Amino acid sequence: MDRRTIRNYFATPEEPRRQVKNPRPQGFASPTLQPFQTYLQDRWEQGCTNSSKLYREIVAKGYTGSRSLVNQALLPWRTPRPAKSAAKKRRLNLRWLCLRPPEKLDADETKLLAQILAADPDLAQGHDLLQRFRHTLRDWDVVALDAWIKHAQDSNLRPFQACANGLLDDWSAVAAGFTLPWSNGPVEGHINKVKLLKRAGFGRAKIDLLRSRVLTA
């Protein structure tokens, strides 16, 4: 809006009202659609509720209006969509409830999660393994991790079995990461830096320039 319009609004003691000049009739009140109301009603009672199909049919009979006018006229005939059931809401929130730490759930969410886990033993077992694995990483307890691997292998849950087998395949490195104060984080950081420099000079630099950039960085 223009500033002068705003000033006029402030200067007006009463609230300004929007005046609609010559409002266009909507739905079956439109003279363009009125001649086809009986035909549309008969087709609707016959079971045809596809507005696009009905629009094409009345166009073949001489209708010259828009498709949106037909959709608007047929809208009151449609039954309202049912509200989402509580079961569907639970399915939508199931992943979020299971992955979120239990201490961060409120009372209603904790109660709902308990009901869901009680109804599905496999999901309850997976949730228990997930929480135990979190505590193991938080406490850096390699003994608890070894026990967790055995329980995961004995479960019937393939994702947890695959995770446990992967940890066992590289157990020496995993155990070192839990017990030693050193980390390969700096090495990975340097590797990432070298890759970035290499990609920045790809197709534009020779090996000696790349070497200089790496040493300078």
Q: Which helix (H) or strand (E) holds 129?
A: helix 121-139
Q: Please, what sign has the CA dihedral across residues 165, 169, 172, 176?
A: negative
> Residue 158 is part of which domain span?
120-169
Q: What is the pLDDT of residues 32-54, one digit of tens each?
A: 888 999 999 999 999 998 999 99
**pLDDT > 70? residue 153:** yes
pLDDT at 118: 93
pLDDT at 200: 87
The answer to whether 145 and 161 have CB atoms below 8 angstroms apart is: no
Domain count, the chain: 4
**pLDDT > 60? residue 88:** no
pLDDT at 127: 94
Q: Is residue 175, in this structure, part of any structural domain at all? A: no
CB atoms within 10 A of CB 174: 17
Q: Is residue 174, in this structure, part of any structural domain at all? A: no
pLDDT at 10: 86
Do 9 and 73 share a domain, yes or no? yes
Q: Is residue 180, in this structure, part of any structural domain at all? A: no
% of the chain exceeding 70 in pLDDT: 92
Do 157 and 207 share a domain, yes or no? no
Do 52 and 8 share a domain, yes or no? yes
Q: What is the mean pLDDT of residues 11-25?
A: 71
Give the C-alpha separation, 124 to 174, whole Å.
Answer: 27
The mean of the pLDDT values for the chain is 86
Do 34 and 59 share a domain, yes or no? yes
**pLDDT > 60? residue 23:** yes
Q: What is the mean pLDDT of residues 16-45?
A: 81
Do 113 and 163 share a domain, yes or no? no
Q: What is the pLDDT of residues 161-206, one digit of tens each?
A: 999 999 999 999 899 888 888 888 889 999 999 999 988 888 887 8
Do 13 and 68 share a domain, yes or no? yes
Q: What is the mean pLDDT of residues 89-97?
A: 69
Give the C-alpha separation, 78 to 51, whole Å.
Answer: 11
Q: What is the mean pLDDT of residues 150-154?
A: 94
Do 19 and 43 share a domain, yes or no? yes
% of the chain exceeding 90 in pLDDT: 40
Q: Is residue 66, in this structure, part of any structural domain at all? A: yes
Do 124 and 104 share a domain, yes or no? no
The answer to whether 161 and 152 have CB atoms below 8 angstroms apart is: yes
Q: Is residue 185, in this structure, part of any structural domain at all? A: no
The answer to whether 191 and 178 have CB atoms below 8 angstroms apart is: no
Do 31 and 48 share a domain, yes or no? yes
pLDDT at 89: 54
Do 106 and 160 share a domain, yes or no? no
Q: What is the mean pLDDT of residues 129-143?
A: 92
Do 160 and 130 share a domain, yes or no? yes
Q: Is residue 13, in this structure, part of any structural domain at all? A: yes
Give the C-alpha separation, 154 to 71, whole Å.
Answer: 58
Do 112 and 127 share a domain, yes or no? no
Threshold 0.85, pTM exceeds: no
Residues 6+ apart with CB under 8 A from 149: 164, 167, 168
Q: Is residue 176, in this structure, part of any structural domain at all? A: no
Q: Is residue 186, in this structure, part of any structural domain at all? A: no
